[in-house]
Chains A and B, each alone.
Chain A
Amino acid sequence: MALKINRRAVLRGIAGATVALPWLECMVPTRAAAQTIPRRYAILFAGQALGGDNYAKNSSRVDGQNITEGGHYIADTSYGRGYALTTPLMPLQGMENDFSMISNLAIPFNQSSTDGSAVPSAGAYRDFHGGGSSPLLSGTRSTSPSYVCNGITSDQVIADLNDGQTTHKSLVVRAQPSFYVSGYSFAGRQYISYGAGGGSGARIEAQASPEVAYRSLFQGFVPDDDDAAARFDFELRSRRSVLDLVLEKRAKLMSNIGRADEQRLERHFDEIRDLETRISALPPITSGVCFVPPDPGADPPIGGDHDGGGSGSVTPGSGYSDEHARSRIFADLIHMAFVCDLTRSASLQITAFQSHMNVRPIADGLGTLPGTTRPARWASVGGDLHEVGHNGDPNNRGQIPSAGLLGWHISHYAYLIDKLRNTPEGGGNALDNSVVVFTAEAGHGLQLNDGSSQNQTHSVENMVMLVAGRAGGLNPGAHVDGGRQHPARVLVRAMQAAGYTGNSLGEVNGTVDF
């Protein structure tokens, strides 16, 4: 059911009253006319590295055969425009002029000391995985192995910038719903968005249920049909009455409790109040391209745990919750949330930091290796995502298996970009007014932990970011040498394109030009 938003629909329920048609007709066009097309910002995250341990950029092992062959490492290509797409970039075929690739980025770390107090500005604590997250996403140094960003992340800078302009301040979603390793849980690996100041108190919990995310975004739309609109109105009023009833209990519950308890419950009530505000907000401005997307239905079931090891223990049914479908649904939701101006900031964590997602179902779906005659070489990639990078599968290692899985992540990025660029907006398309960043968790190079091993996944060197869109005058299409600059400088440039007027993120100042 794809309900079109009907501007003429009778809208009741604002402040509990029935609002008559003339009011709407006078208000809505005014608001629409006054509005310039907003700029949006999204960041998509892959919980894997760019290559495989101990394998150089042109080196792989597939089906037990060692292969020396270039073009599989993501940035193993010439600079400038018209560069050859590498294996992970294949999903972006035909979109070469819609995104830029900035490679050779590096996060600084202290070569001579592993002490938390010795980490340089915007640098990484010498322990991967946790040490890399804060500088990558918030431009702020990490001082411990914990997965925590110590400053605000780029998506939330843009969210703050647009606060109050849209129904949802930001859309923070995650496709991988479970950590999957027997006996363990995420422990911070599930956060890529942090509010002002960073730290564990500022982490923003991602919505991991596509079903709930859909409902949260699109329940505010008024159906076309008059009867359906009236039923919707009844439901909206009852939802608000229910939330009001809960909110009215606030003062009484808060009386006579301790400060620590009060603080926890205040946060809960604040979130309910925000929900109440969102559902009371005017439905979004309609246009021919903004409509309620099809209901994705119930979420795919959540997969069970495995031992976090190599190929054999990761069995069908464990470690996979159809992240493919979940990512696609979230990309659909981000697209429509942008087009309908429900939010201007989004983050999608496709896989968690140090992701132990079972890659077998994905490898099976990758088909033949692009650009070669070798058939179905992906299908033999086994194990979980983390272990593929660390050579957990004895027969499939190095760049080709990693490139295939990185390409799977990028396929969701390509899917979102393609949807945006095929959505007419103003004189162009929605991608003209958007910035969409893709980053992986790690690069491929000098190991962060020991500071000496080369061609390692636990590396904050040779990092790559993709930036799509033309918002703010971006002119995408090139492969740019980042010259070992900090990846957060790419984020600053992307944020500026989305309307940010500052010139820094955390401890990182300035931009990489692209």
Chain B
Amino acid sequence: MLWRYFALSACVCLAACTGKISQSGGGNPGGPPAVDPILAVESGVRRLSQAELDNTLSDLLGEDTAPASRLLNEDEFRPFDNDYTIQQASDALITSLEALAEEVAERAVGDAARRSALVPCTPTSPGDAGCFREFLNGFLPRALRRAVTAEDVESYMPLLDFATEDNAVVNNDFYTAVKLAVSATLQDPEFLYRVERGSPGSTPGLLELDGYEIASRMSYLLWATMPDDALFAAAASGTLNTAEGRRAEAARLLEDPRARTQLHRFHAMWLGYRSIPHTAELVDAFNRETSALIDRVILEEPGSYLRLFTMGETFVDDALADHYGLPRPTDGEGWVSYEGTGRAGILGHGSLLAAFSKFEDTSPTQRGILVRTRFMCEEVPRPPPDIDTDQPPQGAMDAVCKYDRYAEHRDQSSSCAGCHSLVDPIGFGLENFDVAGRYREHDDGLPECIIEGTGEIVGVGDFSSPAELSQLLVDNQYVDACAVQQFLTYAWGRPPSVYEEELLAEMTGSLRDGAHDFKAFMLGFLGSDRFARRVEERF
């Protein structure tokens, strides 16, 4: 039994914890943007995340070994993996990218099926320029995600020299040049980054994106990968420059399994359960449960997204039902009722209840922080510097039960209470659910420590279960506003700035006006004029 759950020793004065909504950390400092964010928001060049790069290589070249995850340094999660404001090119990155490009190109031409998908013609000689151009005309627009010019294509032609070189020791042929062209393209910043330009619009500083730029925005947001042929075609035809065209394509993209995967990843990063510490089997079962709920409330059953938090049933197989102590589903896997369990929605899931755990047990403080920061989008300040959060509270070491060990956090005469009162009472309201999402009556291994299970969001209301907490968050309009903020953070690849507060409010309003239909909200977002526009970052 470990006693170091919580973070305090001697608490001293600290600034009041106001729980102010976080709006810091936009794309750039230095005053208001050039254009009202209601019309268009700032965007900057974004490098593909590891996940996006691996997905793109899969779609572009059939590369399914996830080389980016292996050869590139891991992305920072803040909480999303795509924050371009902290991306920085480095020697390590460039060297890894070259290794990746050569490895992937080698495999792309080494496999007969993949090679023929890549090169539609049969070369008549190693130096068949016509066939090489045909390959480039097919490959480059997909790789660079734009229409290419003859000049673009011609720039690759010198690589044919490597195909035709008379060299006794090298097995060079037509595909040598193909391989080099693929390698060059994979190292091209236009492939690795999403570079948006746009052309001047009606308002000074406002830039209208072209169809291809819009297509990439749509596919990377909804699929985390490059556009498919149909989306490229829509880009070329000008369809994506209209709201109706974008809505139609977005609706189509949402029908694809890749959209589901993307929604699952978005929620896992946002709500902190992307890499929970349980066995692979249990993690898999939790993921299937949570994914089923996300799919149902967004894609499969039109209606309110708020059901993500309030759903009265959950998707389990026999093993997971047994794990939770829920009735088994009919047919081995399916939806079972939460009735009488105190659970509701995603907060009843093992995935969420495992997130932000510590020391093999739940941490009321960490769970409170999870709710404040991820469900309410508030900022919880760091503990003051002279509190060592890795150290146990000396005074509380004698206490056996967890609730008693947190006494100092509640002591109004101590400075700890200022902040901990904002988070700990939330966590204590979830204490009946352990780190694997199972119900419990008492602290792990301590029958004398009966868990009361009552909690409070200070200033909002009391609750005594995940179901009641969820209802409190829904009724007080926290989760919908927060979902919008998180979605935009992910879509923009950066945190919103203070200047975008009004836009967030407007978009939250649109979600509410649409009866919280999240699919409709996403279609509205992608269809909106501002989705097809940008403003350059201040510098």
Contacts and interface: CB of A to CB of B under 8 A. Distances in A.
Interface of A: 53, 114, 125-128, 131, 145, 172, 177-179, 182-187, 190, 200-201, 203-209, 211-213, 215-216, 227, 230-231, 234, 237-239, 241-243, 245-246, 248-249, 253, 256-261, 263-265, 267-272, 274-275, 299, 302, 304-310, 312-313, 315, 318, 386, 390-392, 394, 447, 449-451, 453, 456-458
A307 B78 CA distance: 18
Interface stretch (B88-96, B210-218, B498-506, B523-531): B88-96
A272 B1 CA distance: 53
A310 B359 contact: yes
A205 B96 CA distance: 12
B195 interface: yes
18 contacts: A177-B74, A182-B275, A187-B76, A207-B92, A230-B169, A234-B172, A249-B188, A259-B539, A263-B539, A265-B45, A268-B193, A271-B93, A299-B70, A305-B276, A309-B358, A309-B360, A310-B359, A313-B359
Given A305-B277, A310-B360, A449-B387, A183 B355 contact: yes
B433 interface: no
A313 B386 CA distance: 28
Interface string B66-89: 000111011111110000001111
Give the interface SS of chain B, mostly helix, strand, loop or mixed.
loop
Nearest to B2: A310
Contacts of B93: 205, 271
A125 B169 contact: no
Interface in B141-179: 155-156, 158-159, 162, 165, 167-170, 172, 176
B129 interface: no
A264 B45 contact: yes
Interface in B241-282: 272-277
Contacts of A312: 360
A204 B95 CA distance: 13
Contact of A267 (B89, B95, B170, B360): B89
A31 to B, nearest CB: 25
Interface string B193-227: 10101000000000000000000000000000000
B388 A260 contact: no
B458 interface: no
A44 B397 CA distance: 37
B74 A212 contact: no
B162 A227 contact: no
Contacts of A234: 162, 165, 167, 169-170, 172
B463 interface: no
Contacts, number: 250
Nearest to B102: A239
Contacts of B158: 241, 245
A269 B388 contact: no
Contact of B91 (A271, A313, A391): A271
A366 B47 CA distance: 42
B18 interface: no
B281 to A, nearest CB: 13
Contacts of B91: 172, 204-205, 207, 271, 274-275
B277 A306 contact: yes
B184 A245 contact: yes
Given A205-B92, A309-B360, A313-B359, A246 B385 contact: no
A293 B3 CA distance: 49
A312 B359 CA distance: 8
| Nearest 10 Cβ contacts at the A-B interface | A205-B90, A309-B359, A258-B536, A259-B539, A127-B385, A268-B89, A449-B388, A305-B275, A271-B94, A260-B537
Given A185-B77, A205-B73, A253-B190, A308 B358 contact: yes
Contacts of B101: 242
A238 B385 contact: no
Contacts of B497: none
A120 to B, nearest CB: 15
Nearest to A257: B197
A128 B389 CA distance: 9
B375 interface: no
B360 A246 contact: no
A260 B539 contact: yes
A275 B94 contact: yes
User: Which of A185, A187, A201, A206 gathers most chain B CB within 10 Å?
Assistant: A185
A319 B76 CA distance: 17
B155 A178 contact: no
A227 B169 CA distance: 6
Nearest to B179: A238
A260 B33 CA distance: 13
A267 B195 CA distance: 15
A249 B190 contact: yes
B28 A390 contact: no
B277 A313 contact: yes
B66 to A, nearest CB: 11
**In this complex, which of A127, A145, A268 has the most chain B Cβ atoms within 10 angstroms of its Cβ?**
A268
Interface in B93-111: 93-96, 98-99, 101-102
B188 to A, nearest CB: 5
A201 B85 CA distance: 11
Contacts of A215: 95, 99
B4 A209 contact: no
Given A183-B355, A305-B277, A312-B360, A261 B537 contact: yes
Contacts of B360: 307, 309-310, 312-313
A125 B384 CA distance: 12
Contacts of B90: 204-205, 271
Contacts of A457: 390
B71 A209 contact: yes
Contacts of B168: 230
Given A212-B71, A272-B94, A310-B2, A450 B10 contact: yes
A308 B359 CA distance: 7
A207 B95 contact: yes
B183 interface: yes
Given A253-B195, A272-B187, A305-B275, A451 B537 contact: no
A58 to B, nearest CB: 22
Nearest to B276: A182
A206 B92 contact: yes
Nearest to B28: A260
A315 to B, nearest CB: 8
